[in-house]
Amino acid sequence: MSLFDAIRTWLSPRPSATDADQKLRLLLRASIEIVSAYGAVLERDTSSNIPTIKQSETDLPFSKQQISQAIAILQQALEDSRLRAMLIELLSPMEAQQLLSQQFEKSLESGLVLLDTFVPAAEAEAEREQWNETLKALDKIDPNIREHIEGVFTAARHTDEKNK
pLDDT digits (tens, 9 = 90+) for 106-158: 999 999 999 998 999 888 888 888 877 877 776 777 777 777 877 887 887 77
**Together in a domain, 31 and 112:** yes
In a domain, 6, yes or no: no
Q: Output the pLDDT for position 51.
A: 57
**Together in a domain, 125 and 87:** no
**pLDDT tens per residue, range 69-85:** 999 999 999 999 999 99
- When the pLDDT of each residue in the chain is averaged and rounded to a whole number, the result is 82
In a domain, 113, yes or no: yes
Closest-CA residue to 79 (of 59, 58, 102): 102
**Together in a domain, 111 and 128:** no
In a domain, 90, yes or no: yes
Work out how many domains the chain is built from and give that number: 2
**Together in a domain, 78 and 114:** yes
pTM given for the model = 0.68
Domain ranges, residue 104: 21-44+55-119
**Together in a domain, 129 and 93:** no
